[in-house]
Amino acid sequence: MSTSIAGIAVGAVLAVAILVFGFWGFLLVALFMAIGLLVGRFLDGKLDPRGLANALSGKRTS
């Protein structure tokens, strides 16, 4: 799947979420999508949890 198609799919899901669930439902769907992205990248081995924690705590830049 190309990044353009993935972007279109994400946009469509978020558009449906805001129409069906309202603003707060939209934010909740976006949050769960972000969590799913992080879990997926971790399982694929493309995300280093220690590096992410260090970057978020300010010990190291990304």
pLDDT at 52: 80
More confidently predicted of 43 and 61: 43
pLDDT at 1: 73
pLDDT at 29: 92
* Per-residue pLDDT reduced to its tens digit, 17-54: 999 999 999 999 999 999 988 888 888 888 888 888 88
CA angle 23, 28, 20 (to 5 degrees): 50
Q: What is the mean pLDDT of residues 2-12?
A: 88
- Is 33 in contact with 10 (CB distance < 8 Å)? yes
pLDDT at 62: 54
Per domain, the residue ranges of the chain are 3-57
